[in-house]
Structure 1
Amino acid sequence: MHADHYDGFAARYEAENQRNLLNAYYDRPAMIRLAGDVAGRRILDAGCGSGPLTAALRSAGALMTGVDGSPEMLALARERLGDAVPLHVADLARPLPFADGAFDDVVCSLVLHYLEDWAGPLAELRRVLRPGGRLILSVNHPSVRVFFNPEEDYFATRPYTETFVFEDGTEELPFWHRSLTTMVREFLAAGFRISAVEEPPPAPDTPRDLLPPRVASGEREAFLCFLYVVLTAE
């Protein structure tokens, strides 16, 4: 998938991103928590979209830079962030416009699952991290797809499509499925050490009407959706 695919529905995606369960009350809080104390840290938001995670980390004291492949999403990020945060149109499959070791951390929220090839992007993200720097990422949980589609081969790296529902219509988004084993092998091959793996619950302040019924009732604390990994650059 080309990131500029989002150009056609950037504003609608941004509006949904601010209020829905999976972005506003699940992914973003989890990424912020995993990042921890970021005051004074140089952080690259790789695939920053319209900039909500960039804005949150900047408010916590981080020195933020953002890249995204969608000019329209970056235009929305510029409206949110002003001119103080450097923003670049960039493709993770190509060299990034930064020096070696330029960042203390990279956050990469719900981006890698759009890519067929991970070797090049992971190597490039490793390059722009200082030794000991962190890559904090979230991806579609590899178990979810085969839970709902048990006839599919869990261990095959393959494309699939999901329908994203807006108030005024739908969009088809293409993804790539990888097994957990494949993910781990690619992380290690790129020169990272795995520091943490998490499957978190939604944020405590999630409105009950957004939660799945069994979570809202208290029967369950969490649900499988995204996988969170913290990698350390060796």
Structure 2
Amino acid sequence: MPADPKSSTDVAVENDYDSFAEAYTVENDTSLLNAYYARPAIVDLAGDVAGRRILDAGCGSGAVSEALRDRGAVVAGFDRSAKMVELARQRLGADTDLRVADIGQPLPYPDGAFDDVIAALVLHYLEDWTAPLAELRRVVKPGGRLIVVVNHPIIFKIIHPEASYFATSKWSDECTFNGQKAVLTFWHRPLHAMTDAFTAAGFRTAVISEPPPAPEARELFPDEMARFPSGAFLSFLFFVLEAV
């Protein structure tokens, strides 16, 4: 369920979350797409996390980390946005290992440090997944999991029906977070390119999921959900990958 696009693929934006971190956090904590769709789906896919060491890669303001910590996980997180990390510290407290780091660079963690890694709404900002996935594979232990959430590849084709589904393509979308406008720039890639990249990085694809929103979404968002009589919609694609 994409936002209405107001910008085209020729808009160059660096996804500067520092500039709208607080507005995004307010939206993220209450919105249909984040609070009642992506986050509960991640928690459900993660299952019993009690005692598991989990890295939240691209943690934002820490909402996913908080949900997993509340279920007994030992969480750590990083984000490229210093402002987002500051907000995550306010949410999670000083005893949580939170760092400013870039998923496109070597990560400041030892090999096999984590049982699971969550990369939610992160990889679709990147043109090349090779180095980021290699680093995520390095820091997760053998047999551990990487849970990935990205824009569903059908969304690009819906917004740009004239474009090639099979090409890796840059595109931008103007969004509104708690009243503040921001332009986000993504990289579309077809499904087979995603799974090929996971395999090349040393992961086995265990689950590909297109989940419905949380049950309470229909009552909380009646206008939006009225567009989807079945109760399900497509916005993100969810993967559970096993480190081999």
Q: TM-score range by the shorter chain?
A: over 0.9
Aligned partner (choices 29, 33, 39) of residue 22 of structure 1: 33
Unaligned runs of 5+ in 2: 1-12
How much is the aligned-residue C-alpha RMSD, in angstroms? 1.2
Alignment of 1:24-173 (within 5 A): 24-173=35-184
Q: CA deviation at 1:117?
A: 1.1
Aligned partner (choices 205, 223, 226) of residue 233 of structure 2: 223
Pick closer, same or farther for the CA change 1:87–1:157 going to 2, 3 Å: same
Aligned partner (choices 182, 195, 202) of residue 191 of structure 1: 202
Report the residue type matching 1:83 in the other structure.
Answer: A
Instruction: Report 1 or 2 for greater relative contact order, CA contacts < 8 Å, sequence distance ≥ 6.
Output: 2
Report the residue type matching 2:152 in the other structure.
Answer: H
Summarize deviations over 1:138-181 as a string: whole Å, max 9, x none.
Answer: 00000111023210110110110011113434111110000001
Greater shift in the superposed pair: 200-209 or 125-134: 200-209
Identity within the alignment, %:
54
- The residue aligned with 1:212 is 225
Q: CA deviation at 1:2?
A: 5.0
- The residue aligned with 2:22 is 11
Report the residue type matching 1:193 in the other structure.
Answer: R
Greater shift in the superposed pair: 147-156 or 20-29: 147-156
Alignment check: 8 A CA contact 2:114 2:141 kept:
yes
Report the residue type matching 2:237 in the other structure.
Answer: L
* SS of equivalent to 1:133: strand
Q: CA deviation at 1:221?
A: 2.5
Summarize deviations over 1:174-195 as a string: whole Å, max 9, x none.
Answer: 1000000111110110010000
Pick closer, same or farther for the CA change 1:98–1:210 going to 2, 3 Å: farther
